Structure 1
């Protein structure tokens, strides 16, 4: 049954209000964890099922990341979180930049940590969970030169220090849904004899941002699985020194979907042991929802599965809704996007574009689907 057409509009509104109210109450009392059978999420205290229905708050309408304005313009963050809540979301994915949190390889920026703690309190107040994605280097201007000059071993050590510091700051808040170790980590291509290794840690510039970064610049005779496993273990070890409760994941590009075949890397048996659930980023293509569903099933590995990014970028709003409905039988959450402007605000913009119209239409659909999603078993 299509989510948005399951009940009349008036009843849908009432159900949404009740769902949000009950979910908020549970969230103020309980963390979220993996169920005893390992297949889905539950509230830690009640053991009732929990489905993720959230948004990436990766930047605002001006392209700024949250840690670039959350001190000077805190009211803006508070208003955005209230708007996200009104959409029917229960989770917000935030992205923290290395350059905003580290003053040196082994020195934290306490102002940033204090603001993160303030954000935790805001999330608790609104009844929202946080998917905390770290080690971001999206804006090159914020990447410290000393960080890019580190060799692999020292860079990993600094990344572990980052995660230890974040875990220490967040460990007492029930609002933290998970730590996402890095957005879309990748590996260098295999080099032929005599070829120079890669020299840039960042890859794939998109709209002035670098969402993808390499874990190493040189495979140096190692397999990608060996590198991924060693890196995940080092990051998780750093987190578990301070926080033994919060779930850990890695948001990945679904190469199985992109290449039309293959097997998951981070969610392979060799690498995924210490990751609590699978996180993948899916943008279904027009007339290819079947292919997206088939590819997504490859990440159903006996752990909870979250589509951590989705948007009607390459398909229609109706097709993305279909993707959510059809994946619900084996997927435990979906996270889309919110960029600081409501559907009404987008429609009223004097310079409104097709992109604004698509975003507004999807936000309205996201809201309409919320009640049924939150009530899924």
Structure 2
């Protein structure tokens, strides 16, 4: 069998079939005829090789660019500008801040120390604690109104208590009655203890008006009866002296706590441990009847609750590490009231033992 070359029409050859069907070879946009695939691998290229030894076609440079050493493809460039690209309506560099979101109400040019940010005074972190919080006071009028309300409630409580003390001290019939009926003291102590537990542990209850004021009134009346009954067992001079000393000490501590830059609220845990130690010492004083031991115990108790008064005053002001929420005006008044009453009782015990 002879292997002859097939007589099929080949692209690029001058044969009548090709010319009649496809027409004569056309010249493309680059001025070069289409490739002839019948040529062998050793055929010369269609154009002179470029600087990188790759065949290519010479084209005019695109607008905005210089002559390129790279070979251009056979495709016609589109109508889009190739470069440099036109900048959009927004500046690309440097980037600028857009307008702030009106929903947040934050000035984008404000510093991080401004009250709108969580800096400076510190963030409000409740941490599951309703009494002691870090409160950022953007509106100081709320704090002033809170302080006025607390001191108003405290003033009423102290007036009721020292009215009981005056009646139980200067009215002889009342003094004789309470001395003969000591069971009333234990009843008032139970009522005071129950109301104290309710106001201290039930946060929702002490924020519910008017039941919080009712419970605070019951606590104030029961504690006033207890203090008046204790004062009835002391001399009138000792009671008057204890009231005067208590007023001077409390006023001085409150003013000092308001003006001092030292943070007493950071010592709250230490004072709580000292109170537990003082409670154990009181149990010891029950079994050991020693005048010197009682004087030392009364002195330490007055000193400890003076420190508690300083801490609770700064908690009320809210300008230190810990503060009380403005919703807790009943709890704040209760803290200050119990501190002052304990200072009075310890000073009364100290003065009474020194006069014996």
Name the TM tier (shorter chain).
under 0.3
The structure whose RCO (Cα within 8 Å, separation 6+) is larger is 1
What TM-score do the two structures reach when normalised by structure 1?
0.17
- Structure exhibiting the larger radius of gyration computed from Cα positions: 2
TM-score scaled by structure 2? 0.18
Q: Which has the higher helix share?
A: 2
